[in-house]
C-alpha cells in the first residue's frame, strides 16, 4: 500500500495575469471557495490527484508585490512565509514582463521554490514580443514553462515541472537574486551577520531576507522579529536604525526606495537579455477600441446603452423561462394537491413550501442572465472601462469608479454585489460601498412594484417604477456624501485605474464566473426562503381554533338550502345559472371566513401590534405584516399580501389586485409602501453577507438601522406630503 504524497502548490501572480483561469483549468470543478482566515479576501483551494501525487492547489490573491501594503499582499506573503508551500507557481503576464517580474524577484528573494509560468504567450507574440525562456530560466535559475491559460495549453507540463521542483533538493543560488547598491549590500551583510550571531536559531525565515526586510523597515517583519528574538532582536533593530539613518544620508532617499529602484534596475537588465521586440509592432487593438469606448463624449452614452441592453436582456429574455418555471411550479403544486390528503401538512406543503420557494425560483433565469452579462463585461475587459467612465461621477460620493461595479450588481442582487466590494483596496471605501449598495433596487423588489404600481398606477406604472430606481440612486449618493464627510472620513487616495487589454471571452470561464455567483445566491436564498416561507405560513395558519364572530358554517348551510329550493323550482337553463351563482356565493362566505381567520392568526395579531408604527405612512396592518416578512426576502412581501387578502396563492395576481383595490389602499399609500420596500432593511441573506464582508456587528447593525430609518422618513414625507398636496 502506497500512501499518496501530498504537495501544496500555490499560484501567485499579478491581477489579471490569468491565475484564476489556470487554477480553474487545473482543478476543474473540484474547488473550495472561502475566505482567508480573518480577512475577507477570496480564498480558492482545489485538491486533485495527478501523476501519482495528491496536489493541493491554492490560488493566492493577485498582487504586484509582496510589500505588505494591501490586505491581498499581506495574505499572499503570509501564506508563502508561514505555510511554506512546496512550490510557488508565479503566473507571469508575458505581455507585461516588467511588471510581472517585480513580484517574481520578491518571491525569489524569500527563497521558496519558484516556477515561472509565462502565460499570455499568445498575446505577447501578437504584440511582436518574443521571450527567450531558456535564457530567463538560466539567468534566474528558475524553471520556466509557456502556458496559454484560456486555451488550456501547457497545464500538464506546468504540473510536472512543479512536482519535479518540489522533489529537488533545496537550491542555494542566492547569487541569482537582485544585487543592491554597494552601500545597501554592505548594510544587509552587517545585519545578516548580527542575526546569525545573536538570533539565528530563533527566527524561522532566511537571514538574508529578514535582513532586507528589516532594512526596508517592514512593520510586520519587525514585530515578529522582536517577538521571536526578544532582547537580541531589539538590539539588532537599533543597529538597523543606525544603518538606515546612514543610508538616508548617503542617498538622500529612504533605503526602501533605493532598493525598489535597484530591483527595477535588475529587472530592466533581465528584460534586455530575454525580450526582443520585433520592429513592425502590430497596431494596438485595445488602444483603438478604447479611443471609441472611453471617448470623452460618446463613451458615456455607449456605456448607458450597454447597461440598458443588459437589463433589457435580463428581463425580456428572462421572462420566457420565468413563465415555464411558473407553470412548472403550479403543476407541481396541483399534483401535490391531488395526491396528498386534506390536512395541515398539505396546507404547509402547498402554501408554505411550494408557494414560498416557488416564488423565488422563478427569478433564477433573470439572475443567471444578469450574472452572465456581468461576467461578459468583466472578461472582455469592459468592466474596467465602465469603472473608468463612472470615475468622475463616483467622485461626487467620494468614491472611485471601481465602487460602481458592486453598485451596478446591486440591481441584480445585493448578495454578490456586496461580495464584489472585495476588489476595493481601501477598507473605508469598502464599508462605504457596502452601506450604500442596498439602496440599489434589487430584482427581488421588482415583483412588489409590479403588483402595487400595476394595481394603482396602471398606465403610469413604468414611470413610477423608474422613479423608484432613481430615488434609490439619489439616496445612495446623498448617503455616500454624508458618510464620507462624517463616519468614514478620508481622502480618496489617488490611484491608477488599470485598463487591461480587451480579450475575447471564453465561454467556459464565463460559465464558471456566472455559476460561482448564482450558486451562492441559490444556496443562501434557498435556505433562507424555505425557512422564511414556513414561518410566514405557520404564523398565518395558527392558532387553528379561531373564535369566529359569525357562524360561517351555518351561513353556508343557509345559502346552500335557499339555492337548493330555487334550483328545484327552476327550469333546465335556470338550474345551470343558479348552480354557478351558488358557487360564487359560497366562495364569498369562505373568503370572509378566511379573512377573519387571518386577522385572528398570530400574523394578524403581530400586524395589529406593529401597525401604529406604519400608520403615519398610510400602511395598514396587512401591509405592516408583509413588510415584516419581507425581511426574509423581498419577494415574500407579495406572497404575504396574497395570504392576507385570502386570494388563491401568489400565482393569482388579478385576484390580488382586486383585493388590494377594495382594501382601502390608495395610490398614495401604495407609493409610500413601495418607497418603504425600496429603502428599508436589506434582506436576511444580504445582512448575513454584510456581516461577513465587514466582519463587524457594529457596521451590520448600523446598516440595518440607517436604511430602515431612511425608509420610514422617506415614506412619511411621501405620504404626509402627498396628503398635504391634496393627493390620495
Footprint of ligand GDP on this chain (CB under 6 A)? 13, 15-21, 62, 119-120, 122-123, 148-150, 379, 503, 506, 509
Q: Which is nearer to ligand GDP, 21 or 598 (CB)?
A: 21
Number of amino acids touching Mg ion (CB under 5 A): 1
Least gap, CB of 380 to ligand GDP (angstroms): 7
Q: Which three cell numbers stand for residue 137?
A: 530560466
Least gap, CB of 31 to ligand GDP (angstroms): 13
Select the binding partner of residue 261 from Mg ion, ligand GDP, none (C-beta < 5 to 8 A, by kind): none
Task: Give CA–CA dist 202/228, Å, rounded.
Answer: 6
Q: Other CB atoms closer than 10 Å to residue 424's CB: what's the count?
A: 20
Least gap, CB of 379 to ligand GDP (angstroms): 4
Select the binding partner of residue 481 from Mg ion, ligand GDP, none (C-beta < 5 to 8 A, by kind): none
Q: Other CB atoms closer than 10 Å to residue 494's CB: what's the count?
A: 6
Q: Which three cell numbers stand for residue 447?
A: 415583483
Q: Which is nearer to ligand GDP, 77 or 222 (CB)?
A: 77
List 194's β-bridge partners, or say none: none
Task: Please report the sign of the dihedral spanned by the C-alpha atoms of residue 340, residue 345, residue 347, residue 352.
Answer: negative
Q: Which is nearer to Mg ion, 91 or 673 (CB)?
A: 91
Select the binding partner of residue 122 from Mg ion, ligand GDP, none (C-beta < 5 to 8 A, by kind): ligand GDP
Select the binding partner of residue 21 from Mg ion, ligand GDP, none (C-beta < 5 to 8 A, by kind): ligand GDP
Q: Which three cell numbers stand for residue 346?
A: 398539505
Q: Are strands 129-131 and 87-93 parallel, antiparallel or unpaired?
A: unpaired
Least gap, CB of 290 to ligand GDP (angstroms): 17
Select the binding partner of residue 16 from ligand GDP, Mg ion, none (C-beta < 5 to 8 A, by kind): ligand GDP
Q: Which three cell numbers stand for residue 110?
A: 524569500
Task: Give CA–CA dist 636/134, Å, rounded.
Answer: 62
Select the binding partner of residue 120 from Mg ion, ligand GDP, none (C-beta < 5 to 8 A, by kind): ligand GDP
Select the binding partner of residue 148 from Mg ion, ligand GDP, none (C-beta < 5 to 8 A, by kind): ligand GDP
DSSP 354: I
Residues 6+ apart with CB under 8 A from 424: 400, 402, 403, 406, 430, 433
Task: Give CA–CA dist 495/497, Å, rounded.
Answer: 6
Q: Which is nearer to ligand GDP, 161 or 635 (CB)?
A: 161
Cis peptide before 93 (omega within 30 of 0): no
DSSP 427: H
Q: Looking at beta carbons, which residue is closest to ligand GDP?
A: 149
Least gap, CB of 69 to ligand GDP (angstroms): 18
Task: Give CA–CA dist 146/116, Å, rounded.
Answer: 8
Least gap, CB of 176 to ligand GDP (angstroms): 26
Q: Is 27 in the site for Mg ion (CB under 5 A)?
A: no
Task: Give CA–CA dist 19/16, Å, rounded.
Answer: 7
Task: Give CA–CA dist 302/295, Å, rounded.
Answer: 9
Q: Is 20 in the site for Mg ion (CB under 5 A)?
A: yes
Q: Which is nearer to ligand GDP, 125 or 658 (CB)?
A: 125
Q: Are the C-beta atoms of residues 320 and 298 closer than 8 Å to each other?
A: no
Select the binding partner of residue 25 from ligand GDP, Mg ion, none (C-beta < 5 to 8 A, by kind): none
DSSP 683: P
Q: Is 639 in the site for Mg ion (CB under 5 A)?
A: no
Q: Which is nearer to ligand GDP, 21 or 177 (CB)?
A: 21
Q: Which three cell numbers stand for residue 145?
A: 514553462
Residues 42-61 that bind Mg ion (CB under 5 A): none
DSSP 695: -
CA triple 249-250-253, angle to 5 deg: 70
Least gap, CB of 694 to Mg ion (angstroms): 22
Least gap, CB of 510 to ligand GDP (angstroms): 9
Q: Which three cell numbers stand for residue 681?
A: 432593511
Q: Which is nearer to ligand GDP, 92 or 488 (CB)?
A: 92
Least gap, CB of 24 to Mg ion (angstroms): 9
Least gap, CB of 22 to ligand GDP (angstroms): 7
Q: Are strands 275-277 and 129-131 parallel, antiparallel or unpaired?
A: antiparallel
Only one of the segments 18-26, 39-47, 442-450, 493-501 lies at the binding site for Mg ion (rule: CB under 5 A); that segment is 18-26
Q: Residue 603, CB half-sphere, CA atoms under 13 Å: how many?
A: 29
Q: Which is nearer to Mg ion, 421 or 669 (CB)?
A: 421
Q: Is 31 in the site for Mg ion (CB under 5 A)?
A: no
Q: Which residues bind Mg ion (CB under 5 A)?
A: 20
Amino acid at each position: 500500500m502506497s500512501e499518496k504524497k501530498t504537495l501544496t502548490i500555490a499560484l501567485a501572480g499579478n491581477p489579471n495575469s490569468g491565475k484564476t483561469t489556470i487554477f480553474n483549468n487545473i482543478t476543474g470543478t473540484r474547488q473550495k471557495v472561502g475566505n482567508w482566515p480573518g480577512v475577507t479576501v477570496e480564498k480558492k483551494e482545489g485538491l486533485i490527484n495527478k501523476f501519482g501525487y495528491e496536489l493541493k492547489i491554492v490560488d493566492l490573491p493577485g498582487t504586484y508585490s509582496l510589500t505588505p501594503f494591501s490586505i491581498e499582499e499581506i495574505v499572499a506573503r503570509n501564506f508563502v512565509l508561514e505555510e511554506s508551500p512546496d512550490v510557488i507557481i508565479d503566473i507571469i503576464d508575458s505581455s507585461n514582463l516588467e511588471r510581472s517580474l517585480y513580484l517574481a524577484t520578491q518571491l525569489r528573494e524569500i527563497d521558496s521554490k519558484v516556477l515561472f509560468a509565462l502565460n499570455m504567450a499568445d498575446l505577447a507574440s501578437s504584440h511582436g514580443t518574443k521571450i527567450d525562456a531558456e535564457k530567463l530560466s538560466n539567468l534566474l535559475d528558475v524553471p520556466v514553462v509557456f502556458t496559454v491559460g484560456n486555451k488550456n495549453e501547457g497545464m500538464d507540463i506546468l504540473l510536472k515541472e512543479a512536482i519535479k521542483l518540489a522533489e529537488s533538493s533545496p537550491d542555494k543560488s542566492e547569487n541569482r537574486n537582485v544585487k543592491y547598491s554597494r552601500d545597501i549590500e554592505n548594510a544587509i551583510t552587517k545585519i545578516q551577520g548580527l542575526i546569525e550571531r545573536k538570533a539565528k536559531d530563533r527566527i524561522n525565515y532566511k537571514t538574508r531576507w529578514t535582513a532586507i526586510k528589516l532594512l526596508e523597515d517592514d512593520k510586520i517583519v519587525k514585530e515578529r522579529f522582536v517577538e521571536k528574538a526578544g532582547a537580541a532582536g531589539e538590539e539588532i533593530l537599533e543597529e538597523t536604525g543606525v544603518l538606515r539613518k546612514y543610508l538616508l544620508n548617503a542617498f538622500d532617499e529612504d533605503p526602501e526606495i533605493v532598493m525598489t529602484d535597484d530591483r527595477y534596475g535588475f529587472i530592466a537588465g533581465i528584460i534586455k537579455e530575454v525580450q526582443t521586440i520585433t520592429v513592425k509592432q502590430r497596431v494596438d487593438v485595445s488602444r483603438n477600441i478604447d479611443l471609441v469606448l472611453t471617448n470623452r463624449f460618446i463613451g458615456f452614452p455607449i456605456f448607458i446603452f450597454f447597461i440598458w441592453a443588459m437589463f433589457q436582456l435580463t428581463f425580456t429574455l428572462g421572462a420566457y423561462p420565468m413563465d415555464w418555471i411558473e407553470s412548472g411550479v403550479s403543476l407541481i403544486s396541483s399534483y401535490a394537491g391531488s395526491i396528498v390528503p386534506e390536512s395541515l401538512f398539505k396546507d404547509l406543503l402547498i402554501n408554505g413550501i411550494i408557494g414560498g420557494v416557488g416564488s423565488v425560483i422563478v427569478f433564477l433565469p433573470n439572475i443567471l442572465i444578469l450574472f452572465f452579462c456581468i461576467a461578459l463585461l468583466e472578461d472582455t475587459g469592459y468592466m474596467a472601462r465602465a469603472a473608468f467612465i463612472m470615475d468622475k461621477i463616483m467622485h461626487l460620493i467620494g468614491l472611485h469608479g471601481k465602487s460602481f461595479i458592486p453598485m451596478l450588481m446591486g440591481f441584480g442582487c445585493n448578495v454578490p454585489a456586496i461580495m464584489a466590494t472585495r476588489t476595493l483596496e481601501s477598507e473605508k471605501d469598502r464599508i462605504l460601498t457596502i452601506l450604500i449598495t442596498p439602496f440599489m433596487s434589487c430584482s427581488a423588489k421588482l415583483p412588489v412594484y409590479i403588483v402595487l404600481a400595476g394595481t394603482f398606477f396602471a398606465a403610469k406604472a413604468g414611470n413610477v417604477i423608474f422613479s423608484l430606481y432613481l430615488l434609490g440612486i439619489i439616496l445612495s449618493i446623498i448617503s455616500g456624501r454624508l458618510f464620507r464627510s462624517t463616519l468614514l472620513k478620508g481622502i480618496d487616495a489617488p490611484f491608477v485605474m488599470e485598463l487591461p487589454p480587451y480579450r475575447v471571452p471564453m465561454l467556459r470561464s464565463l460559465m464558471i464566473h456566472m455559476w460561482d455567483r448564482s450558486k451562492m445566491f441559490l444556496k443562501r436564498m434557498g435556505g433562507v426562503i424555505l425557512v422564511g416561507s414556513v414561518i410566514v405560513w405557520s404564523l398565518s395558519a395558527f392558532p387553528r381554533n379561531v373564535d369566529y364572530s359569525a357562524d360561517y358554517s351555518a351561513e353556508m348551510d343557509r345559502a346552500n338550502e335557499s339555492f337548493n329550493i330555487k334550483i328545484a323550482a327552476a327550469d333546465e337553463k335556470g338550474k345551470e345559472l343558479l348552480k354557478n351563482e351558488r358557487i360564487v356565493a359560497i366562495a364569498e362566505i369562505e373568503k370572509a371566513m378566511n379573512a377573519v381567520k387571518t386577522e385572528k392568526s398570530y400574523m394578524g395579531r403581530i400586524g395589529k401590534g406593529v401597525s401604529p408604527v406604519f400608520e403615519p405612512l398610510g400602511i395598514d396592518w396587512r401591509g405592516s405584516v408583509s413588510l415584516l416578512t419581507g425581511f426574509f426576502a423581498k419577494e415574500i412581501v407579495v406572497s404575504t399580501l396574497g395570504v392576507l387578502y385570502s386570494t388563491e396563492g401568489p400565482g393569482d395576481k388579478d385576484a390580488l389586485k382586486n383585493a388590494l383595490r377594495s382594501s382601502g389602499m390608495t395610490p398614495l399609500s401604495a407609493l409610500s409602501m413601495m418607497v418603504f420596500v425600496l429603502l428599508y432593511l436589506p434582506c436576511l441573506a444580504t445582512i448575513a453577507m454584510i456581516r461577513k464582508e465587514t466582519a463587524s456587528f457594529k457596521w451590520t447593525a448600523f446598516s440595518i438601522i440607517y436604511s430602515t430609518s431612511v425608509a420610514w422618513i422617506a415614506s412619511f414625507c411621501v405620504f404626509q406630503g402627498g396628503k398635504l398636496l391634496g393627493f390620495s
